Amino acid sequence: MKKIRNEMIKSFILSGVGLLTLLFILYKSISSFIIEQEIQKARLLAHTLLYTREYLAKVAPFVEVKNKKFHPFSLTPAYAVSQIAKTIQMKEHLYVKQTSDKYRDPQNKPNEHELTAIYYFKSHPNAKEFFQIHRGHENIKSEHLFYAYPLKIDRSCLKCHGPKKDIPKPLLNKIEKIYGDRAFGYKLGQIRGIISIKIPFSEIKHKVDILFLKLSLFLLFLYLLGIVLFTRINKLIFKDIDNINEYLQTKLAKNIYRPFKAKMNFFEFDIIKKGINSVVKSLKNYQKTLYKSLYYNELTGLPNRKKLIEIIKRKNYPLILLDIDSFKEINYFYGEEIANKLIKQVAERLRDYRTFHIKIDEFVILQRENISKDEIYELTKNLIKKLEEPYDIDDYSIIVKFRAGIAYTKRNFMRALSALDATRILNKDIAFCSEADQIRDSYQEHLIWLKKLKIAIEHNKIIPFYQPIYDQNRKICKYEALVRLIDEDGNVISPYFFLNVAKKSRLYFEITKQVIDKSFKKFEKNGTEFSVNLSTLDMENDNIKNFIIQKLKGFKNPKKISFEIVESEDIKNSKNAYEFIQQLKSFGCKILIDDFGSGYANFDYLLSLGADGLKIDGSLIKNILEDKNSQIVVNTIVNFAKEVNMQVIAEFVENEEIFEYLKNLGIDCFQGYYFSEPKEDIEI
């Protein structure tokens, strides 16, 4: 891209070259003009001499020269004009000569250039003049302008220059006596000679130089004056441009929209200045509009999420994040117009606080830095109470519920969002970020176990461990298959760590399949009785139910299989579970209720289920020697089971004393670390 300054410099250089070219052309033009003037001067002189000749030709025949001092032919055109030419040459320092190739007077002998002119006229009869520029000759050494005018024979000339026979004898004798036998025999119209005028070039050059100098000085003056004016104007132009450029660089480029106040030197730049100020005004208005739309909520006029983020980036404030519960339902039921009016009224109730409207149904309130946890909790509680008062909108009285997440440490906004999420998970109105942290930590642990679980399933590392169940005579009556996970380091992991993760991630059913498949294969070839655990989830899943039925159909003696129903309280509301239990019983399988007595023991429900036995919950067994309540509950369960002919198994039997105590109560079977821990490899 071109620069104006560089173009200006080029313009100066080109104008200088142009001036020199102009001076050169001017010099040539002046030279041509002066030469033309000199030619005109020579032409005028030649015409003057010609007219003199014509006049003398008319007068001479009637005048007789009697004074012997004068030449006999003093008044003849040829002689008189020659004398006049000599006088002009002597007094005016101008070479004038009347000459002919047939000259009579030796002084009129033509030189080389004059002969050339004579021959030119003879070969060009109609030519009226001849001029050349010559470097000099024998008479005039310097450079000169040579002008020649033709002299033609007219009737008056024939008296002296015609055929001898036509010239009077006395005149002929007189001519021959003075000039000899020369210049006779001409005819009318023939070239007799020329008037030769030579103007020295020094005079022409002097005139040219004087005129050129005057014009050059005048032009140079105009040029310098133009440069001065141009430089001054250029300086003012660049001053205006620099002012505009400085404003653009220091203000507009940095988004500083202040009026452009610099004074302009030219009208055109003042128009640009007005245009810039008009644009700046528009930009400023647009900036205000954009700033408002960028940092403020259009509906409530409160600062928005972006504004909040900018503020808390600079300083970390404790904050309360308020959310209107079920706002979508309000919007759907009452319509958008009513919902918007509700939001405006909520914003109005929060005007006294440093409030931000971050989403249609979410508001943030910033608090002072030194507020305590108890203070911010009480403030939030009172705020929610105030916000949950009825809103009278049109013909409706609308009551809304609010939740609040509170954060008062680093990264408060994101932590407040987490706390708000925690209110839904924990089913609370107010939650602190610390509670959300606990949920997050639990979630992170969930992800870790999910990864371990996937790897274990892919690598066939879901393994059933078998714990023996003993009768009163300390003999093994059957085994319970308990699921274990073998991690990448070979560690045996209890289901306590991964079973809930499996249930939430749809991997639970794969665990059930692997335990059943491996347990059935383990006990298929012998008559040892064993049990596996089933949950309501399993019995609700058609895929698992079909899988178990197919396994039972292929098993030699299904009567040796017991299914321990865990989480049995959930079966009450499951018709599918009831039906599947009956289907299992149709194969001859036994149904045991696991962890009986851990909650409210519903004996009617136990009877309706058609269970073959029950396992007393370990929480009642492990403290039975010291806890009177546990003794009463266990005793009641045992008595009831005996009455309805159900087998009773006690788990968590940890020592000899517990075993003896339970045996004396009449419990049928025992399971616990007192006898054996669960093992992968057992001898059957």
Contact 27, 213 (CB under 8 A): no
Q: Residue 326 carries which side chain, given as an amino acid letter?
A: S
Residue 542 CA, distance from chain mean position: 57
CA distance 403 to 437: 18
Strand partners, 365: 320, 355
CA 129, 130, 133: angle at the middle one, nearest 5?
145
pLDDT at 157: 80
Strand pairing report for 613-616 and 647-650: parallel
Contact 350, 363 (CB under 8 A): yes
pLDDT at 557: 92
| Contacts of 187 by beta carbon, 8 Å cutoff, 6+ apart | 153, 162
Q: Which domains does the chain have, with CATH numbers?
A: 22-207 (no CATH), 305-436 (3.30.70.270), 459-670 (3.20.20.450)
User: What sign for the dihedral angle of Cα 677, 678, 679, 683?
Assistant: positive
Token pair recorded at residue 55: 């006049």
628-665 per-residue burial string, b: 16 or more CB within 10 A, e: under 16: eebbebbeebbebbeeeebbbbbbbbeeeebbebbbeb
CA distance 77 to 156: 10
CA 604, 610, 611: angle at the middle one, nearest 5?
95
Helices 412-426, 433-458: axis angle to 10 degrees equals 70
Q: What is the DSSP code string of 159-214?
A: HHHS-GGGS-HHHHHHHHHHH-S-S----TT-EEEEEEEEEEHHHHHHHHHHHHHH
pLDDT at 415: 58
CA distance 41 to 47: 10
pTM here is 0.46
CA distance 637 to 109: 173
| Contacts of 521 by beta carbon, 8 Å cutoff, 6+ apart | none
Strand pairing report for 402-407 and 430-432: parallel
Helices 542-553, 575-586: axis angle to 10 degrees equals 10
Contact 355, 302 (CB under 8 A): yes
Strand partners, 132: 146
Contact 260, 276 (CB under 8 A): yes
pLDDT at 437: 58
Q: For each successive 10 residues of the chain (684 residues), what is the average pLDDT?
A: 69 78 78 77 82 80 74 76 82 82 83 88 90 65 80 82 81 76 81 85 71 80 83 83 82 77 83 84 81 86 86 78 86 90 93 89 84 85 90 91 75 56 59 59 72 91 94 95 91 85 87 94 88 92 95 93 81 81 94 80 73 91 91 93 93 94 95 92 80
Going by the DSSP 8-state scheme, the letter that residue 296 receives in this structure is B
Contact 244, 269 (CB under 8 A): yes
